[in-house]
Every structure is written in structure tokens, then in C-alpha cells.
Amino acid sequence: MKNNDDKLISRNMKPTAMRELVLDALLEQNVAVSLSDLEKKFDKADKVTLYRTLKTFEENKLIHSIDDGTGSVKYALCAENCQCNPHDLHVHFFCTKCKHTYCLNNTPIPSVTLPLGFEIKTINMVVKGTCANCKK
């Protein structure tokens, strides 16, 4: 628990009970989670509070959001010192069978050359298909 507090503090957030709980939940997952996933997990907790907890985490770059095309945004932990710059970003994978969204942390987003005058700030790259688990 102390560990998680440190994570929160080092990202300039007060380590409240709610935040510890949500951070714990994120830590024990190997796939990205949505707001409604969290709602199901903590069915006593308020939806808006969870929502704001995620937003706060995101603002402080503890987690990043993934728009995987399912209609609900997913969230996953950032790497230790991530600043969410384009070169920090990795590819995400959505499995159409198990409906899980993975961070492919070892698959950086390839660089693209844009037309003249277009300036990149960030990239979202989602590959869809079947994951290693579902292929078996």
C-alpha cells in the first residue's frame, strides 16, 4: 500500500482511499479497463467519483487513455517515467474475441511522415484482431 502512495505522491496527487483502491485495481490488471469496468468492480462507489479519479490520474500522467473504438474509453497504467510524448507511446491491441484491450508496451508506434504543414502532437494507434490467448 505504501508503494502505491508513493506512486500517487510522486505524481503530485494526494493518496486518498479512493485513489489507492482504483490504482490497486489498475495494477492487478494486465489489460486496460473502462469506467464501467470499474463501476462493476466497485459497485458501492460512485460513478462520477471513479470518473474523476481516472481523469485526475490521466492529467497527472499516471495512466493513459485508449480509444479502442468500442465506444468506451479504456485506461491503463503508464510506464514509470512516462510523459506521454509521441515517442513514449505504444501500440494498443483490441481483441475482437475476448474484447480485451492490451498495451503492447514493447511495440512503439512507428513514425509517420505527414503532409506539409501538419504538426503532430499525439498519436492513437489501435490494432484489432485476435490476441495470443484467443488464438490457441
Residues that bind DNA (CB under 7 A): 13-14, 16-19, 34-36, 45-49, 51-53, 55-56, 71-73
Q: Which is nearer to DNA, 52 or 97 (CB)?
A: 52
The DSSP 8-state label assigned to residue 58 in this structure reads: H
Tell me: does residue 114 bind a copy of itself (CB under 8 A). yes
Instruction: Pull the grid cell for residue 129.
Output: 484482431
Contacts of 120 (CB under 8 A, 6+ apart): 86, 112, 114
> Looking at beta carbons only, is 10 or 111 nearer to a copy of itself?
111
Min dist CB 44 to a copy of itself, Å, is 28
Asked if residue 17 binds a copy of itself (CB under 8 A), the reply is no
| Cα–Cα distance measured from residue 136 to residue 127, given in angstroms and rounded to the nearest whole number | 19
Site string for a copy of itself, 27-66 (x = CB under 8 A): ----------------------------------------
- Cα–Cα distances (Å) from 85 to 52, 102, 108, in that order, read 23, 19, 12
